[in-house]
Amino acid sequence: MKNYSIRQRVLVTGGAGFLGSHLCERLVVEGYDVLCVDNFFTGARDNIAHLLGNPRFELLRHDITFPLHVEVDQIFNLACPASPIHYQFDPVQTIKTSVIGAINMLGLAKRTKARILHTSTSEVYGDPQVHPQPESYWGHVNPIGLRSCYDEGKRCAETLFFDYHRQHTVDIRVVRIFNTYGPRMHPNDGRVVSNFIMQALQGNDITLYGDGMQTRSFCYVDDLIDGLMRMMYGPHGLPGPINIGNPHEFTMVDLARAVLAQTDSRSQMVFQPLPSDDPRQRQPDISKAVEYLGWGPKIQLTEGLRRTIEYFRSQISQVDSARRQ
Ligand code: NAD
Ligand code: UDP
Ligand code: UDP
Protein backbone atom coordinates (compact mmCIF):
# COMPACT_ATOMS: atom_id res chain seq x y z
CA MET A 1 0.00 0.00 0.00
CA LYS A 2 1.29 3.47 -0.85
CA ASN A 3 2.38 5.57 2.08
CA TYR A 4 0.69 8.99 1.90
CA SER A 5 1.91 9.90 5.37
CA ILE A 6 4.87 12.28 5.54
CA ARG A 7 6.03 10.67 8.77
CA GLN A 8 7.73 7.30 8.74
CA ARG A 9 5.75 4.48 10.37
CA VAL A 10 7.89 2.38 12.65
CA LEU A 11 6.99 -0.96 14.18
CA VAL A 12 8.74 -1.84 17.46
CA THR A 13 8.16 -5.43 18.57
CA GLY A 14 8.77 -5.91 22.28
CA GLY A 15 8.12 -2.17 22.61
CA ALA A 16 6.76 -2.43 26.17
CA GLY A 17 9.95 -4.04 27.46
CA PHE A 18 13.03 -2.46 28.98
CA LEU A 19 14.90 -1.51 25.80
CA GLY A 20 11.77 -1.30 23.62
CA SER A 21 10.14 1.36 25.79
CA HIS A 22 13.24 3.59 25.62
CA LEU A 23 13.37 3.08 21.85
CA CYS A 24 9.65 3.96 21.41
CA GLU A 25 10.22 7.11 23.44
CA ARG A 26 13.21 8.16 21.34
CA LEU A 27 11.34 7.49 18.07
CA VAL A 28 8.28 9.51 19.19
CA VAL A 29 10.55 12.40 20.22
CA GLU A 30 12.23 12.29 16.80
CA GLY A 31 8.85 12.56 15.02
CA TYR A 32 8.18 8.98 13.90
CA ASP A 33 4.76 7.30 14.05
CA VAL A 34 5.33 4.36 16.36
CA LEU A 35 3.39 1.11 16.51
CA CYS A 36 4.40 -0.79 19.63
CA VAL A 37 3.59 -4.51 19.53
CA ASP A 38 3.96 -6.61 22.66
CA ASN A 39 2.41 -9.69 24.27
CA PHE A 40 3.31 -8.39 27.77
CA PHE A 41 5.21 -11.54 28.75
CA THR A 42 7.97 -9.49 30.38
CA GLY A 43 6.93 -6.02 29.24
CA ALA A 44 4.67 -3.71 31.21
CA ARG A 45 2.11 -1.05 30.39
CA ASP A 46 3.80 1.13 33.02
CA ASN A 47 6.91 1.29 30.82
CA ILE A 48 4.97 3.03 28.04
CA ALA A 49 2.14 4.64 30.06
CA HIS A 50 3.61 8.10 29.44
CA LEU A 51 3.35 7.56 25.66
CA LEU A 52 -0.21 6.25 25.52
CA GLY A 53 -1.88 9.65 25.07
CA ASN A 54 0.52 10.71 22.32
CA PRO A 55 -1.06 10.71 18.82
CA ARG A 56 2.23 9.42 17.36
CA PHE A 57 2.10 6.30 19.53
CA GLU A 58 -0.10 3.23 19.17
CA LEU A 59 -0.08 0.03 21.21
CA LEU A 60 -1.13 -3.42 19.99
CA ARG A 61 -1.21 -6.53 22.17
CA HIS A 62 0.04 -9.28 19.89
CA ASP A 63 2.35 -12.29 19.97
CA ILE A 64 4.80 -12.21 17.04
CA THR A 65 4.79 -15.99 16.75
CA PHE A 66 1.51 -15.31 14.91
CA PRO A 67 1.40 -13.43 11.58
CA LEU A 68 0.94 -9.69 11.69
CA HIS A 69 -0.40 -7.63 8.79
CA VAL A 70 0.29 -3.91 9.16
CA GLU A 71 1.78 -1.25 6.88
CA VAL A 72 5.12 0.12 8.08
CA ASP A 73 8.36 1.66 6.78
CA GLN A 74 10.81 0.31 9.36
CA ILE A 75 10.74 -2.54 11.86
CA PHE A 76 12.78 -2.88 15.04
CA ASN A 77 12.46 -6.52 16.15
CA LEU A 78 13.13 -6.61 19.90
CA ALA A 79 10.46 -9.07 21.08
CA CYS A 80 12.08 -11.83 23.16
CA PRO A 81 12.57 -12.28 26.90
CA ALA A 82 16.18 -11.38 27.66
CA SER A 83 16.93 -12.48 31.21
CA PRO A 84 17.79 -16.13 31.99
CA ILE A 85 14.92 -16.44 34.53
CA HIS A 86 12.37 -15.27 31.98
CA TYR A 87 13.67 -17.04 28.89
CA GLN A 88 14.05 -20.32 30.79
CA PHE A 89 10.49 -20.09 32.20
CA ASP A 90 9.01 -21.36 28.89
CA PRO A 91 12.00 -22.30 26.71
CA VAL A 92 9.87 -23.56 23.82
CA GLN A 93 8.01 -20.23 23.63
CA THR A 94 11.41 -18.45 23.78
CA ILE A 95 12.77 -20.25 20.75
CA LYS A 96 9.44 -19.86 18.92
CA THR A 97 9.60 -16.11 19.54
CA SER A 98 13.13 -15.94 18.13
CA VAL A 99 12.58 -18.22 15.14
CA ILE A 100 8.88 -18.08 14.15
CA GLY A 101 8.72 -14.45 15.28
CA ALA A 102 11.69 -13.64 13.02
CA ILE A 103 10.07 -15.44 10.06
CA ASN A 104 6.84 -13.47 10.53
CA MET A 105 8.61 -10.13 10.89
CA LEU A 106 10.83 -10.89 7.89
CA GLY A 107 7.73 -11.88 5.88
CA LEU A 108 6.20 -8.55 6.87
CA ALA A 109 9.40 -6.69 5.89
CA LYS A 110 9.49 -8.54 2.55
CA ARG A 111 5.88 -7.61 1.71
CA THR A 112 6.08 -3.97 2.87
CA LYS A 113 9.72 -3.45 1.73
CA ALA A 114 10.42 -2.10 5.20
CA ARG A 115 13.96 -2.03 6.55
CA ILE A 116 14.17 -4.41 9.51
CA LEU A 117 16.59 -4.28 12.43
CA HIS A 118 17.03 -7.32 14.65
CA THR A 119 18.35 -7.21 18.20
CA SER A 120 20.63 -10.20 18.48
CA THR A 121 22.88 -10.74 21.47
CA SER A 122 26.40 -11.31 22.71
CA GLU A 123 25.05 -14.75 23.74
CA VAL A 124 25.64 -15.87 20.14
CA TYR A 125 29.32 -15.98 21.19
CA GLY A 126 28.44 -18.35 24.07
CA ASP A 127 31.28 -18.88 26.55
CA PRO A 128 33.83 -17.21 24.27
CA GLN A 129 37.30 -18.54 23.56
CA VAL A 130 38.30 -15.31 21.84
CA HIS A 131 38.54 -12.14 23.88
CA PRO A 132 37.30 -9.46 23.29
CA GLN A 133 34.70 -10.73 20.83
CA PRO A 134 34.78 -9.34 17.28
CA GLU A 135 31.81 -9.93 14.94
CA SER A 136 33.94 -12.38 12.93
CA TYR A 137 34.09 -14.81 15.89
CA TRP A 138 31.64 -17.72 15.37
CA GLY A 139 31.14 -18.46 19.04
CA HIS A 140 31.28 -21.33 21.51
CA VAL A 141 27.70 -22.28 22.31
CA ASN A 142 26.22 -25.36 23.98
CA PRO A 143 23.34 -26.41 21.67
CA ILE A 144 21.46 -28.45 24.31
CA GLY A 145 21.94 -26.58 27.60
CA LEU A 146 19.60 -24.42 29.67
CA ARG A 147 20.63 -21.24 27.83
CA SER A 148 20.32 -22.82 24.37
CA CYS A 149 16.67 -21.84 23.81
CA TYR A 150 17.87 -18.24 23.86
CA ASP A 151 21.38 -18.54 22.38
CA GLU A 152 20.51 -20.94 19.55
CA GLY A 153 17.18 -19.17 18.91
CA LYS A 154 19.07 -15.93 18.43
CA ARG A 155 21.68 -17.63 16.22
CA CYS A 156 18.95 -19.14 14.04
CA ALA A 157 17.23 -15.73 13.82
CA GLU A 158 20.51 -14.24 12.53
CA THR A 159 20.65 -16.99 9.89
CA LEU A 160 17.06 -16.19 8.84
CA PHE A 161 17.87 -12.49 8.57
CA PHE A 162 20.85 -13.13 6.30
CA ASP A 163 18.93 -15.69 4.19
CA TYR A 164 15.99 -13.29 3.68
CA HIS A 165 18.59 -10.67 2.74
CA ARG A 166 20.34 -12.92 0.20
CA GLN A 167 17.25 -14.72 -1.13
CA HIS A 168 14.61 -11.95 -1.02
CA THR A 169 16.80 -8.78 -0.85
CA VAL A 170 15.18 -7.75 2.43
CA ASP A 171 16.95 -4.67 3.79
CA ILE A 172 18.30 -5.95 7.13
CA ARG A 173 20.29 -4.64 10.07
CA VAL A 174 21.55 -7.04 12.74
CA VAL A 175 22.88 -5.73 16.05
CA ARG A 176 24.53 -7.89 18.71
CA ILE A 177 23.72 -6.26 22.04
CA PHE A 178 25.99 -6.78 25.03
CA ASN A 179 24.67 -6.49 28.64
CA THR A 180 22.67 -3.30 28.93
CA TYR A 181 21.19 -1.75 32.07
CA GLY A 182 19.19 1.27 33.14
CA PRO A 183 15.79 2.47 34.35
CA ARG A 184 12.82 0.17 33.53
CA MET A 185 14.81 -3.02 33.91
CA HIS A 186 12.48 -5.54 35.46
CA PRO A 187 13.20 -5.53 39.25
CA ASN A 188 12.78 -9.32 39.52
CA ASP A 189 14.36 -10.48 36.30
CA GLY A 190 17.38 -11.90 38.10
CA ARG A 191 19.89 -9.91 36.07
CA VAL A 192 22.92 -8.85 38.00
CA VAL A 193 22.50 -5.07 37.93
CA SER A 194 18.84 -5.10 39.00
CA ASN A 195 19.50 -7.83 41.60
CA PHE A 196 22.44 -6.02 43.22
CA ILE A 197 20.66 -2.64 43.32
CA MET A 198 17.42 -4.09 44.74
CA GLN A 199 19.36 -6.12 47.31
CA ALA A 200 21.46 -3.12 48.35
CA LEU A 201 18.47 -0.78 48.62
CA GLN A 202 16.46 -3.28 50.64
CA GLY A 203 19.37 -4.23 52.92
CA ASN A 204 19.42 -7.86 51.71
CA ASP A 205 22.53 -9.94 50.99
CA ILE A 206 24.26 -9.27 47.66
CA THR A 207 24.25 -12.62 45.85
CA LEU A 208 27.46 -13.29 43.93
CA TYR A 209 27.31 -16.41 41.78
CA GLY A 210 30.48 -18.52 41.66
CA ASP A 211 33.59 -16.69 42.86
CA GLY A 212 32.31 -13.37 41.49
CA MET A 213 35.43 -13.06 39.33
CA GLN A 214 33.56 -13.59 36.04
CA THR A 215 33.49 -10.42 33.97
CA ARG A 216 30.88 -8.50 32.02
CA SER A 217 30.82 -5.14 30.24
CA PHE A 218 27.70 -3.06 30.88
CA CYS A 219 26.25 -0.47 28.53
CA TYR A 220 23.87 2.23 29.73
CA VAL A 221 20.51 2.14 27.96
CA ASP A 222 20.71 5.63 26.36
CA ASP A 223 24.00 4.73 24.66
CA LEU A 224 22.50 1.48 23.39
CA ILE A 225 19.42 3.23 21.93
CA ASP A 226 21.72 5.70 20.19
CA GLY A 227 23.55 2.74 18.61
CA LEU A 228 20.27 1.19 17.41
CA MET A 229 19.18 4.49 15.85
CA ARG A 230 22.51 4.89 14.05
CA MET A 231 22.31 1.32 12.79
CA MET A 232 18.78 1.81 11.42
CA TYR A 233 19.05 5.35 10.06
CA GLY A 234 22.77 5.93 9.46
CA PRO A 235 24.16 6.21 5.91
CA HIS A 236 26.50 3.18 6.26
CA GLY A 237 24.35 0.62 4.38
CA LEU A 238 25.83 -2.18 6.49
CA PRO A 239 23.58 -5.20 7.22
CA GLY A 240 25.75 -6.18 10.20
CA PRO A 241 26.13 -8.03 12.39
CA ILE A 242 27.55 -5.28 14.53
CA ASN A 243 28.43 -5.31 18.23
CA ILE A 244 26.91 -2.61 20.43
CA GLY A 245 28.11 -2.54 24.01
CA ASN A 246 30.44 -0.85 26.42
CA PRO A 247 33.95 -2.39 26.29
CA HIS A 248 34.74 -1.38 29.87
CA GLU A 249 35.03 -4.80 31.55
CA PHE A 250 34.86 -5.57 35.26
CA THR A 251 34.20 -8.46 37.62
CA MET A 252 30.90 -9.04 39.44
CA VAL A 253 32.74 -8.38 42.72
CA ASP A 254 33.75 -4.94 41.36
CA LEU A 255 30.13 -4.31 40.40
CA ALA A 256 28.88 -5.32 43.85
CA ARG A 257 31.37 -2.94 45.49
CA ALA A 258 30.31 -0.07 43.20
CA VAL A 259 26.62 -0.65 43.97
CA LEU A 260 27.27 -0.87 47.72
CA ALA A 261 29.26 2.37 47.65
CA GLN A 262 26.70 4.29 45.61
CA THR A 263 23.71 3.15 47.67
CA ASP A 264 25.47 3.61 51.04
CA SER A 265 24.26 0.11 51.83
CA ARG A 266 25.50 -2.18 54.58
CA SER A 267 24.38 -5.35 52.77
CA GLN A 268 26.84 -8.25 52.89
CA MET A 269 28.23 -10.11 49.87
CA VAL A 270 27.34 -13.82 49.86
CA PHE A 271 28.54 -16.44 47.38
CA GLN A 272 26.10 -18.85 45.68
CA PRO A 273 26.57 -21.58 43.03
CA LEU A 274 27.32 -20.49 39.46
CA PRO A 275 24.43 -21.25 37.05
CA SER A 276 25.26 -23.73 34.26
CA ASP A 277 26.88 -22.41 31.06
CA ASP A 278 27.50 -19.03 32.69
CA PRO A 279 30.12 -17.32 30.48
CA ARG A 280 33.43 -16.60 32.24
CA GLN A 281 34.11 -13.32 30.53
CA ARG A 282 32.56 -11.05 27.98
CA GLN A 283 33.71 -7.85 26.33
CA PRO A 284 32.67 -6.43 22.97
CA ASP A 285 35.14 -5.44 20.29
CA ILE A 286 33.33 -2.31 19.07
CA SER A 287 35.78 -1.20 16.37
CA LYS A 288 33.15 -1.82 13.66
CA ALA A 289 30.55 0.34 15.45
CA VAL A 290 33.15 3.08 15.89
CA GLU A 291 34.18 2.94 12.22
CA TYR A 292 30.80 2.52 10.49
CA LEU A 293 28.37 4.17 12.92
CA GLY A 294 30.65 6.73 14.56
CA TRP A 295 29.29 5.23 17.78
CA GLY A 296 30.83 4.72 21.18
CA PRO A 297 29.41 4.65 24.71
CA LYS A 298 29.35 8.01 26.50
CA ILE A 299 27.86 7.15 29.89
CA GLN A 300 30.19 5.29 32.20
CA LEU A 301 29.25 3.00 35.07
CA THR A 302 29.17 5.51 37.94
CA GLU A 303 26.73 7.84 36.18
CA GLY A 304 24.67 4.97 34.74
CA LEU A 305 24.40 3.32 38.14
CA ARG A 306 23.38 6.64 39.72
CA ARG A 307 20.44 7.01 37.32
CA THR A 308 19.44 3.34 37.66
CA ILE A 309 19.62 3.42 41.47
CA GLU A 310 17.42 6.54 41.45
CA TYR A 311 14.85 4.67 39.33
CA PHE A 312 14.76 1.60 41.58
CA ARG A 313 14.57 3.80 44.68
CA SER A 314 11.46 5.51 43.30
CA GLN A 315 9.93 2.14 42.32
CA ILE A 316 10.44 0.84 45.87
CA SER A 317 8.94 3.94 47.45
CA GLN A 318 5.89 3.75 45.11
CA VAL A 319 5.30 0.13 46.16
CA ASP A 320 5.74 1.06 49.83
CA SER A 321 3.27 3.95 49.67
CA ALA A 322 0.73 1.80 47.74
CA ARG A 323 1.01 -0.79 50.55
CA ARG A 324 0.36 1.85 53.21
CA GLN A 325 -2.86 3.05 51.49
P1 NAD B 1 12.53 -7.36 27.97
O2 NAD B 1 12.17 -8.71 28.45
O3 NAD B 1 12.38 -6.21 28.90
O4 NAD B 1 11.71 -7.01 26.65
C5 NAD B 1 11.26 -7.95 25.72
C6 NAD B 1 9.85 -7.57 25.31
O7 NAD B 1 9.37 -8.50 24.34
C8 NAD B 1 8.86 -7.62 26.49
O9 NAD B 1 8.08 -6.46 26.49
C10 NAD B 1 8.02 -8.86 26.20
O11 NAD B 1 6.73 -8.79 26.74
C12 NAD B 1 8.04 -8.88 24.68
N13 NAD B 1 7.80 -10.20 24.09
C14 NAD B 1 8.37 -11.38 24.44
N15 NAD B 1 7.91 -12.37 23.65
C16 NAD B 1 7.05 -11.79 22.76
C17 NAD B 1 6.26 -12.29 21.70
N18 NAD B 1 6.27 -13.60 21.38
N19 NAD B 1 5.47 -11.42 21.02
C20 NAD B 1 5.44 -10.10 21.36
N21 NAD B 1 6.17 -9.59 22.34
C22 NAD B 1 6.97 -10.42 23.05
O23 NAD B 1 14.03 -7.44 27.43
P24 NAD B 1 14.99 -6.30 26.90
O25 NAD B 1 16.17 -6.28 27.78
O26 NAD B 1 14.26 -5.05 26.62
O27 NAD B 1 15.47 -6.94 25.51
C28 NAD B 1 14.97 -6.51 24.25
C29 NAD B 1 15.71 -7.26 23.14
O30 NAD B 1 17.10 -6.99 23.23
C31 NAD B 1 15.55 -8.78 23.23
O32 NAD B 1 15.40 -9.30 21.93
C33 NAD B 1 16.86 -9.23 23.82
O34 NAD B 1 17.20 -10.52 23.41
C35 NAD B 1 17.83 -8.20 23.28
N36 NAD B 1 19.01 -8.07 24.16
C37 NAD B 1 18.93 -7.40 25.35
C38 NAD B 1 20.06 -7.34 26.17
C39 NAD B 1 20.04 -6.59 27.47
O40 NAD B 1 21.07 -6.57 28.16
N41 NAD B 1 18.97 -5.97 27.89
C42 NAD B 1 21.25 -7.95 25.77
C43 NAD B 1 21.29 -8.64 24.56
C44 NAD B 1 20.16 -8.67 23.74
N1 UDP C 1 3.77 -12.61 7.26
C2 UDP C 1 3.26 -11.73 8.20
N3 UDP C 1 2.90 -10.49 7.76
C4 UDP C 1 3.01 -10.09 6.47
C5 UDP C 1 3.56 -11.00 5.55
C6 UDP C 1 3.93 -12.26 5.97
O7 UDP C 1 3.13 -12.03 9.37
O8 UDP C 1 2.65 -8.96 6.18
C9 UDP C 1 4.16 -13.95 7.71
C10 UDP C 1 3.47 -15.04 6.91
O11 UDP C 1 2.33 -15.47 7.61
C12 UDP C 1 4.52 -16.13 6.81
C13 UDP C 1 5.84 -15.46 7.22
O14 UDP C 1 5.54 -14.11 7.47
O15 UDP C 1 4.27 -17.15 7.74
C16 UDP C 1 6.89 -15.54 6.16
O17 UDP C 1 6.44 -14.89 5.01
P18 UDP C 1 7.04 -15.23 3.60
O19 UDP C 1 6.34 -14.37 2.58
O20 UDP C 1 8.52 -15.15 3.64
O21 UDP C 1 6.73 -16.78 3.44
P22 UDP C 1 5.47 -17.56 2.89
O23 UDP C 1 4.25 -16.75 3.20
O24 UDP C 1 5.74 -17.68 1.43
O25 UDP C 1 5.55 -18.83 3.65
N1 UDP D 1 25.09 -12.81 38.72
C2 UDP D 1 25.45 -12.74 40.05
N3 UDP D 1 24.48 -12.48 40.97
C4 UDP D 1 23.19 -12.24 40.64
C5 UDP D 1 22.82 -12.29 39.28
C6 UDP D 1 23.80 -12.58 38.34
O7 UDP D 1 26.62 -12.93 40.40
O8 UDP D 1 22.37 -11.98 41.55
C9 UDP D 1 26.13 -13.08 37.71
C10 UDP D 1 25.77 -14.13 36.69
O11 UDP D 1 26.11 -15.43 37.16
C12 UDP D 1 26.61 -13.71 35.50
C13 UDP D 1 26.67 -12.19 35.62
O14 UDP D 1 26.31 -11.89 36.96
O15 UDP D 1 27.92 -14.23 35.62
C16 UDP D 1 25.73 -11.48 34.67
O17 UDP D 1 24.44 -12.08 34.79
P18 UDP D 1 23.17 -11.56 33.99
O19 UDP D 1 22.10 -12.58 34.16
O20 UDP D 1 22.88 -10.16 34.38
O21 UDP D 1 23.67 -11.50 32.47
P22 UDP D 1 24.28 -12.62 31.48
O23 UDP D 1 24.78 -13.80 32.24
O24 UDP D 1 23.17 -12.97 30.56
O25 UDP D 1 25.40 -11.89 30.83
Q: What is the pLDDT of residues 48-84, one digit of tens each?
A: 999 999 999 999 999 999 999 999 999 999 999 999 9
Assess whether the C-beta atom of 86 lies below 6 angstroms from ligand 3: no
DSSP label at residue 76: E
Q: Is 87 among the residues known to form the active site? A: no
Cis peptide upstream of residue 247 (ω within 30 degrees of 0) = no
Q: Nearest residue CA, atom 5 of ligand 3?
A: 192
pLDDT at 304 over 90: yes
Per-residue pLDDT, averaged over 209-223, amounts to 96
Burial of 12-51, coded b for 16+ CB within 10 Å and e otherwise, reads: bbbbbbbbbbbbbbbbbeeebbbbbbbbebbbeeebbeeb
Decide if 71 contacts 1 (C-beta within 8 A): yes
Amino acid at 257: R
Decide if 243 contacts 282 (C-beta within 8 A): no
Q: What is the pLDDT of residues 6-44, one digit of tens each?
A: 789 999 999 999 999 999 999 999 999 999 999 999 999
Q: What is the pLDDT of residues 157-208, one digit of tens each?
A: 999 999 999 999 999 999 999 999 999 999 888 999 999 999 999 999 999 9
Nearest ligand to the CA of 182 is: 1
Total residues belonging to the chain: 325
Whether the model clears a pTM of 0.85, i.e. scores above it, the answer is yes
Phi first, then psi, for residue 49 (nearest 5°) are -55, -40
Decide if 250 contacts 181 (C-beta within 8 A): no
The per-residue pLDDT of the chain, averaged, comes to: 95
Cα(268) to centroid(ligand 2), Å = 52
Q: Is the C-alpha dihedral spanning 250, 255, 261, 266 positive or negative?
A: negative
Assess whether the C-beta atom of 107 lies below 6 angstroms from ligand 2: yes
251 DSSP β-pair partners: 215
Assess whether the C-beta atom of 208 lies below 6 angstroms from ligand 3: yes
Ligand 3 atom showing the smallest separation from residue 191 Cα = 20
Q: Is the C-alpha dihedral spanning 233, 238, 241, 246 positive or negative?
A: negative
3-state secondary structure of 239: coil
Per-residue pLDDT, averaged over 241-263, amounts to 97
Decide if 71 contacts 112 (C-beta within 8 A): yes
Per-residue pLDDT, averaged over 209-226, amounts to 96
Cα(313) to centroid(ligand 1), Å = 23
Assess whether the C-beta atom of 70 lies below 6 angstroms from ligand 2: no
